[in-house]
Amino acid sequence: MNTPDVEGDVIGETVQVCLDGVMSVFQSRMRRMLDDAGIEKPDPQPTEWYPLDDFLAVLHTVEADTGENALTKIGESTPRFADWAAGHDQPAAALERLTDAYEDNHRGAPGNYGFEQTDESTARVVSTTPYPVAWEEGMLKGTAELSGTAYARVRVDESAPDETVFDVDW
């Protein structure tokens, strides 16, 4: 699948989630997708940088080949395997830290996250990152659930041309 060229790099820890965050039966298929995108063996190294464009191509291939649900599940797994999501005992605190986490795990990449807590157990997150919506939806759900709530729900509004709005309830 062709994706627009995106500048910047992503840290290997985030890329590795494509392998760690899927069931073992899908790992060899995911490994082939990473190879096809130029992220070849050995597996992504946690502290190495990889072209964000290549990683996004893998995510778009997952979405095209296996569907949005598979991509959402990979996004949902991301916080469990990434250091940035640990250490928060409140979903709002973890979601508020998304821009810092994005900047820590990317270099020269476009976009960011805006955060507004809208009620005691709800927040609005605005994304201008190049990540697929289904992946971000899962990542937000996984972040909230890793940070002190048993269940989170994410609603998506893609009506704005340059941003995606996510309403997160926990």
Domains of the chain, with CATH numbers?
9-81 (no CATH), 89-169 (3.90.1520.10)
Find residue 15's DSSP bridge partners.
none
150, with CB counted inside 10 A (0-12, 13-18, 19+), is exposed
Banded pLDDT at 2 (limits 50, 70, 90): very low
Banded pLDDT at 22 (limits 50, 70, 90): low
Query: Is residue 93 predicted with pLDDT exceeding 60?
Result: yes
Query: Is residue 71 predicted with pLDDT exceeding 80?
Result: yes
Closest among 95, 149, 82, 79 to 127, alpha carbons compared? 95
Residues 162-167 have a mean pLDDT of 96
3 versus 13: the higher-pLDDT residue is: 13
Answer positive or negative: Cα dihedral of 3, 4, 5, 7: negative
Banded pLDDT at 80 (limits 50, 70, 90): confident
pLDDT at 23: 60
pLDDT at 24: 61
User: Distance between CA 97 and CA 115 in Å, rounded?
Assistant: 9
